[in-house]
Structure 1
């Protein structure tokens, strides 16, 4: 006996002889309006609202552009290029040497400054706006190649900027809220945003295979070269990401696709080789960066303590797919970071974003895809806690755009104050004058058009850098004989001395004439003897 629910018991429509049976009608697509929303769907408006609020705050940072860190050297680069676009010379000291700061992006900004007459600060605000736009749209673009869920892009933006550690951390190339607030105008932000777009375009090109034209592959090669020239450390991070995308390619690239990839790489290498402002490949043999990067290997828990949420998500992704792009991006960067720590090459720690970014993206994606409902909810709860804790840790940076009276005292106590600056010096010293100043202040002075005796930042192409650093150290050493100090001023053509009253030559020395005491108490002297 057959049941009425048994398909075999149902009548069968038979087509007339000589005619093919009519195709079965396709099942109707579910109507999104009638499908009950999933929990992650309900989050989309709130996530988009949070991203808009975060974007608004970052735009206020662009308007304020607080000065802490490397802004002086980037301002100086714009000023050198403004005055001589073809041969700007050294960025920091009065020497005719190439400079890796003269990247394609900075050359474009220098051209803008020269053509428009805008101040360096205004041009940097434009750079900040472009960098922020590239960064946010780049995160969105890359995330869309990893997931089609509407909640994935806004969640990825929040995770990349807020999921860090119990204390805020500042370093160019790192995407924490505090770091981005201060570095938004830097070439590292421009290169990172461009890098996200590069990875997304590479993934799409690999999916299309030979359907992607030769010119498109050539443009990808040029884009990679632009990232490498603009910020070399970010270029390394994005290269690991590109290798991860390549490993995950499905179907595996055909021979013609490999030929296109090879052409793109050849174009990129050629562009790196012919860049006229500095020798890119000579950077591979330069050392001297280990001491300043040693700090990247310290206090990991305080700086990156919430990132392991993403490492756990990567483990689940690896269990599902041994060729997952985020996993391989993470593994390649981690290999370099570990090798740097074991061998003392601490500058290799600049690959840290290559481990942090894929982990953060994996944490965001774990909430909206993969695994069962229970696992997704677990990740959602843990990630929400990490984002709240990370937001609180970086909240002191709001002091750059919010009055301290409007913030809790527990936050204002941890806030960093922007550098007051040395604009007052421009009333006395002229563009291109050489100033004897200690290293900390020397990081800022070139931003106003002056040169320093010793570079405030390591200079890879300056042959007498050690002598300049030692001469500056000896000048500000109270035990150094007067004649040795005078010799240092004359040897390096110093026309001004900027220091504290008890530094350098004693007050009243006939070789110096006091000109002005600045608002921070430092004294400007004119070298007259």
Structure 2
């Protein structure tokens, strides 16, 4: 297919009829090309046949079942992973929307967890007085809605086939191999059931809308306000979850490089203005310095597992790679192919150089392959339908353990129950005594949960790159619970960090239960003991 030649000459004054005529011809050519593509799609495959109708019914039903399943998950909101830090962030913003301080410890520091999304949820929590987990459920409902509508929105810019959007949902959630890859920003069903209320899910869901809006803006040579709005949307995405923001940026870059016809100079100028506005907002964000994150090192080892079990986890996505090859043969500038190439390149370089954290950009390689699979299935090719359907069924079985987050365990077969990760019991019983703003001395096993209820811990449960005395705090907790630490030093630690409570599971060390400085006030259902600090006098 021939494409209109790009006119690189500077545009004449707006009154020039010839220049306007060329712009109109370029837009008409693009519109005609899109219409021809739609007609070709509708003429191919099983789109209007009885088999096509059956397929659409099946895939829409499956997508609806997945949606209902996720609603049940949101209702139960399984406690596992990083739920505590996100709840803690909202609690801090509820207490002080302008200067919340560290989400985990009593310190006046910035934090990348204070993003536009969490600030909004913190405002909702403060304005309504709702329980933090209710606010997280509201956030999860919004993210799920954005995800489903965003996938539909973006898929419709790639294909006019009615089965494409639900197939895209199925491929994005189910086309994953075992074992589970429960990381923020990954749309694997096993991960999504645990991260549905996280900012990363909000960001990746919003990214689909961002890509769809950018595609339309490039095709229609949109106005200045449209591109400036896209720049602000891009800033919200990057500020709310940095890794998923890189994925969104790669997708946007792929759409730009694959745009046909190539955007006119004025369109590129508007796009550039949107980028400048987005960068300016990122730079002015008051809650943390986004650009300071680039100089931080120390997250590599924790991300190393992302590079393990690659053949089993992602071998199932090879069906999507095959679909991408077909797309590349039809169009060497296909946006999904470019998107896949960008993501794969960054992940590969991360592996070669030991930058394991770059593995968090894996969705930039997986998402385009999954979308290519869905689009190929929507075309109704029998061989590809059979291959992809088998892959989807295999992926669904690999993640069948997620049923345990929506259905009581005793209602599930033993084979399914064994695949479900056990959730945590939580520490709500503690709030009868411990109030928001109190500091609790606890071992690391509880530090990830305590801040979710508004209290502080002596040491953070999650690494905090903005906390200057983090290592000092870790050492203090270690010394307090270490056997042989003098009582005077333990009392000094309690006083230094203004500790009001000590929470431990059995005798993990620290002051003995009968010490005069402690008073047992409660024992939780999991056996944890809560002591009030009643004195710090040294013998």
Common fold by TM > 0.5: yes
Q: What CA deviation, in whole Å up to 9, does each residue of 1:137-195 have, x standing for no partner? A: 11111111111111111100000001100332211111111211111111111111110
- What pairs up with 1:337-376 in 2 under 5 angstroms? 337-369=347-379, 376=381
- With structure 1 as the length reference, what TM-score do the two structures score? 0.90
Q: Which residue of 1 aligns with 2:302?
A: 292
Q: Which residue of 2 aligns with 1:25?
A: none
Q: Which residue of 2 aligns with 1:191?
A: 203
Q: Which residue of 1 aligns with 2:106?
A: 94
Q: Which residue of 2 aligns with 1:9?
A: none
> Are the equivalent residues in 2 in contact too, given 1:41–1:150 (CA < 8 A)?
no
- Partner Cα distance (1:199, 1:300) in 2: 27
- With structure 2 as the length reference, what TM-score do the two structures score? 0.88
- Partner Cα distance (1:438, 1:317) in 2: 53
> Are the equivalent residues in 1 in contact too, given 2:400–2:419 (CA < 8 A)?
no
- Partner Cα distance (1:459, 1:404) in 2: 35
Q: Which residue of 1 aligns with 2:251?
A: 241
Shift, 1:324, TM fit: 1.0
Give the secondary structure class of the aligned counterpart of 2:288.
Answer: coil
1:48 aligns with 2:60: yes
Shift, 1:41, TM fit: 4.3
Q: Which residue of 2 aligns with 1:10?
A: none
Q: Which residue of 2 aligns with 1:20?
A: none
Q: Which residue of 1 aligns with 2:148?
A: 136
Shift, 1:475, TM fit: 2.8
Q: Name which of 252, 277, 280 aligns with 1:267.
A: 277
Q: Which residue of 2 aligns with 1:520?
A: 526
Q: Which residue of 2 aligns with 1:11?
A: none
Q: Which residue of 2 aligns with 1:63?
A: 75
Q: Which residue of 2 aligns with 1:486?
A: 491
Give the secondary structure class of the aligned counterpart of 1:249.
Answer: coil
> Are the equivalent residues in 1 in contact too, given 2:503–2:529 (CA < 8 A)?
yes
Shift, 1:526, TM fit: 1.8
Structure 2: tracts of 5 or more residues without a match: 1-38
> Are the equivalent residues in 2 in contact too, given 1:485–1:504 (CA < 8 A)?
no
> Are the equivalent residues in 2 in contact too, given 1:104–1:229 (CA < 8 A)?
yes
Distance 1:237 1:479, change over 3 A: farther
1:423 aligns with 2:423: no
Q: What CA deviation, in whole Å up to 9, does each residue of 1:471-517 have, x standing for no partner? A: 22333333544444333322222221211222122332333222222
- What pairs up with 1:4-153 in 2 under 5 angstroms? 37=49, 39-153=51-165
1:393 aligns with 2:403: no
Q: Name which of 303, 309, 332 aligns with 1:322.
A: 332
> Are the equivalent residues in 1 in contact too, given 2:232–2:278 (CA < 8 A)?
yes
Give the secondary structure class of the aligned counterpart of 1:499.
Answer: strand
Structure 1: tracts of 5 or more residues without a match: 1-28
- Partner Cα distance (2:425, 2:125) in 1: 23
Structure of higher CA gyration radius? 1
Q: What CA deviation, in whole Å up to 9, does each residue of 1:340-392 have, x standing for no partner? A: 112221111110111111111111112233xxx7xx22221111111111111
Q: What CA deviation, in whole Å up to 9, does each residue of 1:194-224 have, x standing for no partner? A: 1000001101111112xx1100110000000
Q: What CA deviation, in whole Å up to 9, does each residue of 1:409-461 have, x standing for no partner? A: 11101212221110111111111111112223211110000101111111121
Quick check: 198-207 or 377-386, which moved more? 377-386
Q: Which residue of 2 aligns with 1:15?
A: none
Number of aligned pairs?
A: 493
> Are the equivalent residues in 1 in contact too, given 2:167–2:378 (CA < 8 A)?
no
Q: Name which of 182, 186, 196 aligns with 1:170.
A: 182
- Partner Cα distance (2:483, 2:257) in 1: 59
> Are the equivalent residues in 2 in contact too, given 1:454–1:469 (CA < 8 A)?
yes
- Partner Cα distance (1:36, 1:465) in 2: 62
Q: What CA deviation, in whole Å up to 9, does each residue of 1:239-297 have, x standing for no partner? A: 00011101110001111011011100011001101111111111111122112211111
- Partner Cα distance (1:167, 1:377) in 2: 29
Q: Which residue of 2 aligns with 1:158?
A: 170
- Partner Cα distance (1:114, 1:121) in 2: 13
Q: What CA deviation, in whole Å up to 9, does each residue of 1:108-156 have, x standing for no partner? A: 1111111111111111111010000001111111111111111111100
Q: Name which of 226, 230, 241 aligns with 1:231.
A: 241
| Cα RMSD for the two superposed structures | 1.9
